[in-house]
Structure 1
């Protein structure tokens, strides 16, 4: 079996060959990764293991702190900020579990889009077609796992930023319940909605990584029986404007689950979506919280910020405190209402994104098209963050472009969702 150092050297050789056009990684820790790989190989020779991530090649999103370097969050504006004094909590836990931290992956500036573009450091092309978008905001994370330059990548998900690039690149992406994973050392987009989650080639690797990040004991996923599984399909606005291929792939996947004994039912949540839309009609939670986070530079250094990001954040600086507080209070009430609504089923199922990855060039050239596409790509994932659900995107094989099949469960049901997802994955993929 190939040892960890050999795997690492193969990846490093690939990255060296494309140095002049590297867009997936913003930093590569060659020597530190080699040391970690050698240590993992030594433990293996001695019959010692730190757990399922021991020796795994892991990349991390550019918004996670690494001691001694400045965290730039995909932006040139933050380059002159002081270096981090310590690793982010999740980075520290990954190192302690024996993970080989290869490098930092590219992202949308300040994590503010589901498309994946970055004008400062270049945009990674989709792993299956470089002319298509990678999805965002964890763009480099999705591409690195799909192309095999990492086995696991850590992203952040505020409105779908783990699940979208996972879906569009054909890998698994898991969004934990918010605040279950420590956010210390992660540059924020939204204090309320942010969560950190893994992308990997399979559900088991996501589950193992999630346990490490959460500081939980590693456990093998127990198979969850599909027979009798209650699957709710929230048809309505979340199924409009859908690409025909995506719809066909979703219905075919539902059919396979039904054949395995799952009970598929249409499950109405339109009233709750209406109420959340009304509660956030003045502004989105993410944008108003981002306006506070970036207040010191969003106007003062506007010329250095991607205008597709800058103007949306800057516009929210005028939102009043009463408006924001009322929005958060109503959101908390709706989180409780959704939790009660989902008691009658095990999971919600829907396409992760309404469309597969579109070509990049038209979106770069047309701001209106960019905004429309960004809204559509984020639509199916964002409500999971708004209602504090846990969610996962599983690839649906056999179609011309990657398509994601998304499962959502009540907040706090993370482990159960991963077990269900593992069984669904076996039915759809293997």
Structure 2
């Protein structure tokens, strides 16, 4: 059976040549999920193997008739546990929603994926209700990071199972959500690629929200090209009309100097410095940009956050009925939104709009911002489970850099930039709102320049 640790292009080529079938790929994925020595049990929350086999059979029949609906025709794709699948109860990594009515139809993004030929393998584990950047889940356990699995390190969150489904060959790619980094933190810690689009780019109907202002839907996969294909499909664009790599020579890249370079561990600092050096040697123009506005976010959020206010609005009735069934660390963060006033929330929205305008003016002359996706390698799970103060401190550190781009309403990639065989490190490549195709084009150039093949 063909291994699923491949790019979309390679897997699609195997299907086109007859070296593999959609049925054989889905059986490989199911075997990986069922392997008692693997992470399948911790990675998937909902599975419907019959549905996956049915979608695979339909795809094989379409291909046998001489057709292919898209580059993901017949490929196993996992989706985060907060997306509606018709006839199933959407759980969002929680037990508080058990017994709720099943979804009447698939989420909008699921409909687009299936129409493009995706074989949905199941829904992946996540931080409960997507409210953490670590990926810990006390209800369904926490999937282990593929690096140093014996020690037991976090996968990153909230799209934890999404990343592990790809790293461990249970899916060719995964679909997650990102409110403060959840499509970039897990790939950074697991050696994969993730793309967070502009929040409004992809229809969020049928996805349980964390923040209706900040939530984005995007892919986790093995390359920038994979992410570009999935992004186009989910955005309703032509997946054959993809961004092309920009020339690396003359590419203008800004390195923010405020906040995002602090608290790096030695390994991340070395990998980031080496990546910047390689890009410069390849001809990219690297500019250190103060961007002191990044330090203002903490004061803007001093009286409450957009996420907490919007999360409390969605959760308030469920917490009254089933609050004792929540991960109490998640419930604690949601409840901070209860004290926020309407005027305070509106002041936040105004302050963010003003901040965005000032930052956008400063970055307008650059092709992208680059910075470490997260400042440390994946920490161990057990100390975070035992120590609440440590949990919240590390959670804040993981979310810090990615969440700046969510606050900007921007788009961003995380691509690997570490030496092979060492702890994974992600390089974030970011731009302003609606610069998605340009950031992907810059990402293709940067990925190539950093390649060690």
TM-score range, shorter chain: over 0.9
Which of 289, 296, 318 aligns to 1:267? It is: 289
Query: Is 1:60 aligned to 2:79, yes or no?
Result: yes
Residue 364 of structure 2 aligns to a residue in which SS? helix
Deviation at 1:128? 2.3
| Coordinate RMSD, CA, aligned | 1.4
Does the CA-based 8 Å contact 1:397-1:428 persist in structure 2?
A: no
Query: Is 1:134 aligned to 2:192, yes or no?
Result: no
Hey, what does 1:2 align to over in structure 2? 20
Which of 180, 191, 205 aligns to 1:170? It is: 191
Which of 233, 256, 265 aligns to 2:278? It is: 256
Q: Distance between the aligned counterparts of 2:418 and 2:351, measured in 1?
A: 40
Query: Is 1:288 aligned to 2:306, yes or no?
Result: no
Deviation at 1:299? 4.5
Which of 215, 232, 243 aligns to 2:265? It is: 243
Off by >4 Å, runs of 4+ in structure 1:
none
User: What is the number of equivalent residue pairs in this alignment?
Assistant: 429
Deviation at 1:21? 7.1
Residue 344 of structure 1 aligns to a residue in which SS? coil
Deviates more, 1:295-304 or 1:362-371: 295-304
Does the CA-based 8 Å contact 1:173-1:206 persist in structure 2?
A: yes
Deviates more, 1:412-421 or 1:293-302: 293-302
Map 1:6-405 to 2 at 5 A: 6-18=24-36, 22-130=41-149, 131-218=152-239, 219-270=241-292, 272-399=293-420, 400-405=422-427
Q: Which runs of 5+ in 1 are unaligned?
A: none
Residue 369 of structure 2 aligns to a residue in which SS? strand
Q: What CA deviation, in whole Å up to 9, does each residue of 1:216-269 have, x standing for no partner? A: 111243121011111100123211111110011011011111111000010111
Deviates more, 1:157-166 or 1:276-285: 276-285
Does the CA-based 8 Å contact 1:298-1:314 persist in structure 2?
A: no
Residue 309 of structure 1 aligns to a residue in which SS? helix
Deviation at 1:102? 0.5
Deviates more, 1:138-147 or 1:274-283: 274-283
Does the CA-based 8 Å contact 1:172-1:202 persist in structure 2?
A: yes
Q: What CA deviation, in whole Å up to 9, does each residue of 1:267-323 have, x standing for no partner? A: 1111x2233332221112111111111001324433211111111111220111100
Q: Distance between the aligned counterparts of 2:39 and 2:229, measured in 1?
A: 34
Q: What CA deviation, in whole Å up to 9, does each residue of 1:114-146 have, x standing for no partner? A: 010000111111122330001000000011111
Q: Distance between the aligned counterparts of 1:316 and 1:229, measured in 2?
A: 42
Deviation at 1:20? 10
Which of 375, 394, 418 aligns to 2:440? It is: 418
Does the CA-based 8 Å contact 1:5-1:41 persist in structure 2?
A: yes
Q: Distance between the aligned counterparts of 1:412 and 1:368, measured in 2?
A: 37
Residue 415 of structure 2 aligns to a residue in which SS? strand
Deviates more, 1:175-184 or 1:8-17: 8-17
Does the C-alpha gap of structure 1 residues 244 and 20 become closer, same or farther in structure 2, counting only changes over 3 Å?
closer
Deviates more, 1:139-148 or 1:274-283: 274-283
